Chains A and B, each alone.
Chain A
Amino acid sequence: MTALITGAAGGLGRAFALECAERGYDLLLTDINADGLQRVSQGIKRQYDVRIYEKACDMTEGGAVDGLVAYAEGQGIRLDLLLNVAGIDHEGGFAQKSFDSISGILRLNIEATLRMTHQALGLRRRTGRFYIVFVSSLASMYPMPLKATYAASKRFLLDFSIALGQELKGENVSVLALCPGGMPTREDCIQAMDAQGFWGRATASDLEKVARRTISRVLRGGRVYVPGIVNHTFSIAGRVLSPCAVAGLLYRRWRRAQQKWLA
């Protein structure tokens, strides 16, 4: 099998790349961080006997996704699995941010992700099943004040993923939305989790387990995966409680955590 992973140089992207390599999958890796991409490719080549192709690009730039697809076609790559990991967030209130940073979230998390998916479907192997994972978030389950744009973009991906899975069911395609809570992907994420105290740790997931279980689930035809019992419980509560009540609760929790962490 061959897997295309976006955001492959980041913590979760690397975890997926290592899991795929352990399963013997060949890899096509991309990330905006060319150095990080080169390092993870080299590290995986030194650990596993799989073929690795890498091409750095900024998926939000015009022509970048087309360029990646052209590269893949030139290498004769046919895909079995697409892992849409690349995504971005900027902490803080909507009115306090520049509109560029806000639209950056939409351009990467939604537009570029959908463009990549659209193009990747044209690269799929002629026979056999094709698997797509969208990295959404636990934040997709309810409106999140102080992470409003990010949470809404992840909500978009959750709904889109479920709908696309239904559209492509008859075409031998499985689609899964991964909705994790906090993960120790970068030092600032680890600090953000610590700033939330007990609940930050209770809703955190281990990267290597999330990567392993996500791939196992999409191969089995799973459609939504919320890692962790606490997170799974929260996701159910999010469907039962009023969104406005949940938003009020989350605003109070996030404001305290962000003040502590961003200070």
Chain B
Amino acid sequence: MRSCYTTTEDGYETAFAVNHLAGFLLTYLLMPGLIAGRGRVLTTSSASHKMMKMRWKDIMFRHGYNPLLVYKQSKLCNMLLAYGLNERFGSSGVSAYGIDPGLVKTDIGLKNTGGIVKAVWKLRQKGGVSPEIPAKTYAFLCGGPEPPKGLYYRLCREERYSREINKQNADKLWELSEQLCGVCFKSPV
């Protein structure tokens, strides 16, 4: 998270680039191995993906930057990536999931933030669980011989997700992400 608007060297808003595009590009680069191994792609999303719509007209939040909304959108992008991967590569044996780790005692809200964002996170952090607890959900999704069937999990249980996670949004984000990363999944590495 960032308190103020910053961009990567490519001119992409930092949270969008790090929280979504980086994972998208990494998945693209690893796709041949994922298909060969019938692998699973786990993305750390969040309950904050709910009550948020994709801001298609200004996805980088160049107007009206709000660190919380930027974060919520990036978590929605994580879910749309998982949905898009299942649509395109589910028949090849690849399974993708979004995970809500819940409120965890980490430093995410303290990295390069200041002012209100930092102060709020310091308070919220106190109510967080240790990382070992949500890690069990990752182990559950990776561990069994048969991949679980759902899309969104919390505490090893399938949960309901936002209606914004649909084919239309997933396809639109996929196409945009390919364009911004300069890749095309149809022609893997």
Residues of A in contact with B (beta carbons under 8 Å apart): 9, 11, 14-15, 17-18, 22, 36, 39-40, 42-44, 46-47, 184, 187, 190, 194, 201, 204, 206-208
B10 and A190 contacting across the interface, CB-CB below 8 Å: no
A17 and B62 contacting across the interface, CB-CB below 8 Å: no
Residues in B with CB closer than 8 Å to A201 are 114-115
A125 to B157, CA, bound (A): 65
Given contacts A46-B182, A207-B5, contact A18 B11 (CB under 8 A): yes
Q: For chain A, what secondary structure do more than half of its interface residues adopt (helix, strand, loop), or is it mixed?
A: helix
Known contacts A14-B11, A18-B11, A47-B60; 18 further A-B pairs (Cβ under 8 A): A9-B9, A14-B9, A18-B62, A39-B10, A39-B11, A40-B9, A40-B10, A42-B182, A43-B9, A43-B11, A43-B180, A44-B11, A46-B180, A187-B112, A201-B114, A206-B4, A207-B4, A207-B7
A208 and B9 contacting across the interface, CB-CB below 8 Å: no
A187 to B180, CA, bound (A): 24
Residues in A with CB closer than 8 Å to B89 are none
Given contacts A42-B182, A46-B182, contact A206 B10 (CB under 8 A): no
B: number of interface residues (CB 8 Å): 18
B182 and A206 contacting across the interface, CB-CB below 8 Å: no
A190 to B5, CA, bound (A): 12
B11 and A184 contacting across the interface, CB-CB below 8 Å: no
Please count the residue pairs between chain A and chain B whose beta carbons lie under 8 angstroms apart in the complex: 55
Q: B17's closest neighbor in chain A, by CB?
A: A43
Partner of A204, one of B4, B12, B62, B179: B4
A43 to B8, CA, bound (A): 9
Residues in A with CB closer than 8 Å to B6 are 11, 184, 207
Query: Max chain B CB contacts within 10 Å: which of A11, A44, A184, A187?
Result: A184
- CB-defined A-B contacts under 8 Å, sample of 28: A14-B7, A14-B11, A18-B7, A18-B11, A22-B62, A36-B9, A39-B11, A40-B9, A40-B10, A40-B11, A43-B10, A43-B11, A46-B179, A47-B12, A47-B60, A184-B6, A190-B112, A201-B115, A204-B4, A206-B4, A206-B5, A206-B65, A207-B4, A207-B5, A207-B6, A208-B5, A208-B62, A208-B65
B11 and A47 contacting across the interface, CB-CB below 8 Å: yes
Residues in A with CB closer than 8 Å to B5 are 184, 206-208
Residues of B in contact with A (beta carbons under 8 Å apart): 4-12, 60, 62, 65, 112, 114-115, 179-180, 182
A39 and B9 contacting across the interface, CB-CB below 8 Å: yes
Q: B178's closest neighbor in chain A, by CB?
A: A46
Residues in A with CB closer than 8 Å to B115 are 201
B122 CB to closest chain A CB (Å) equals 15
A202 CB to closest chain B CB (Å) equals 10
Residues in B with CB closer than 8 Å to A22 are 62
A201 to B114, CA, bound (A): 9
Given contacts A204-B4, A208-B65, contact A47 B180 (CB under 8 A): yes
B120 CB to closest chain A CB (Å) equals 15
B111 CB to closest chain A CB (Å) equals 11
Residues in B with CB closer than 8 Å to A11 are 6-7
A236 to B11, CA, bound (A): 34
